[in-house]
């Protein structure tokens, strides 16, 4: 039978662990909150999700390998928490068959696009207000949206995105490409509606 004794030093060790965690985690609170905001598309849910993420990260901080990318580790927890707990109550666009989207997209983007139009188009997109960029992002089907949030907004590398979403790197690459094209299509529509293009 095991005989275990409570240590007198447990408290101070706990404090060190917590201090180390807080020192690392605090500087990512904005990133995590913004990631959660783009995932949930709701300020209230984002706050809860981001706070849950930090508490979960703290609870499993012993699993974090020192010297590896802490931000990527936090985003992995954020993504898992979102997928497991928050996505179920989400409204809004759901998954769309990937083939349909891409076939449609490739056809549209290949026509009528030339070098001469590229410069003004980029300038036009840059003049879109935040609200329309956010709206275009929110309309993105989730498979693409998650990859775009992690890679484009949070600037995680493909490998970290792949781990966070538990998908192969090749899938990250193709979803990101398709996601960007879907976004571009929507942004062009907004720009055209404003007479920018």
Partner 1 sequence: MEAISALADDELGAEAEAVRAHLESCVACRAEYGSLVAVRDLLRRPSLSKSVPEGFWAAVERGLDAHDRAGEGVIGRLRSALAQTPRAWPMRFARNVALAGAAVGALLAVLWFLPTHQEQVASSTTALKAIALDFEGHMGREAAEPFPYHTPAEARNAFLATVGYPVSMATAPAQSVSFVGGRVLRGPRLNGIELTYALGPHRVSLYQVPDGGSIPVGMADQAYGSRRYYFDTLGACNIVAWQENDVLYALASNLDHLTLLQLARQVQVAPPVGA
* Residue with token string 């976004």: 183
What is the nearest approach in angstroms of partner 1 to the Cβ of residue 53? Answer: 9
Q: Binding string, 134-173, against partner 1, x = CB under 8 A?
A: x--x----------x--xxx-x-xx--------------x
Residues 188 and 184: their CA atoms lie apart, in Å, by 6
- Residue 77 is a binding residue for partner 1 (CB under 8 A): no
Stretch 92-111 residues interacting with partner 1 (CB under 8 A): 106, 109
Residues in contact with partner 1, total (CB under 8 A)? 67
State how far the alpha carbon of 72 is from the alpha carbons of 108, 134, 162, 167, in Å: 35, 23, 10, 15
* Selected binder of partner 1 within 16, 23, 62, 97 (CB under 8 A): 62
Supply the DSSP string of 84-100, one letter for each residue: IIIGGG--S-----HHH
Q: Which is nearer to partner 1, 47 or 139 (CB)?
A: 47
With respect to partner 1, which residue has the nearer C-beta, 54 or 82?
54
Q: Which spans in 60-168 are helix H?
A: 70-81, 98-110, 115-126, 130-138, 142-148, 158-165
* CA nearest neighbour of 162 among 181, 142, 183, 176: 176
Tell me which residue of 185, 187, 192 sits closest to 106, measured CA to CA.
Answer: 185
Residues within the interface to partner 1 (CB under 8 A) = 1-7, 10-11, 13-14, 18, 21-22, 25-26, 29-30, 33-34, 37, 43, 47, 50-52, 54-56, 58-60, 62-63, 106, 109, 113-115, 117-119, 121-122, 125-126, 128, 130, 133-134, 137, 148, 151-153, 155, 157-158, 173-174, 176-177, 180-181, 183-184, 187
């Amino acid at each position: 039978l095991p005989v275990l004794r409570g240590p007198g030093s447990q408290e101070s060790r706990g404090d060190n662990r917590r201090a180390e965690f807080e020192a690392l985690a605090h500087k990512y609170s904005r990133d995590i909150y913004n990631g959660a905001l783009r995932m949930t598309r709701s300020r209230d849910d984002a706050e809860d999700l981001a706070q849950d993420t930090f508490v979960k990260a703290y609870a499993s901080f012993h699993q974090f390998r020192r010297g590896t990318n802490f931000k990527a580790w936090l985003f992995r927890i954020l993504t898992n928490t979102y997928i497991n707990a928050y996505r179920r109550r989400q409204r809004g666009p759901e998954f769309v068959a990937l083939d349909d989207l891409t076939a449609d997209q490739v056809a549209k983007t290949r026509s009528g696009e030339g070098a001469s139009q590229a410069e003004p188009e980029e300038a036009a997109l840059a003049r879109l207000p935040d609200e329309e960029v956010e709206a275009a992002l929110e309309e993105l089907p989730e498979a693409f949206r998650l990859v775009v949030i992690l890679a484009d907004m949070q600037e995680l590398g493909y490998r970290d995105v792949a781990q966070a979403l538990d998908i192969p790197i090749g899938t990250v690459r193709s979803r990101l490409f398709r996601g960007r094209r879907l976004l571009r299509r929507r942004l062009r529509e907004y720009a055209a509606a404003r007479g920018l293009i």
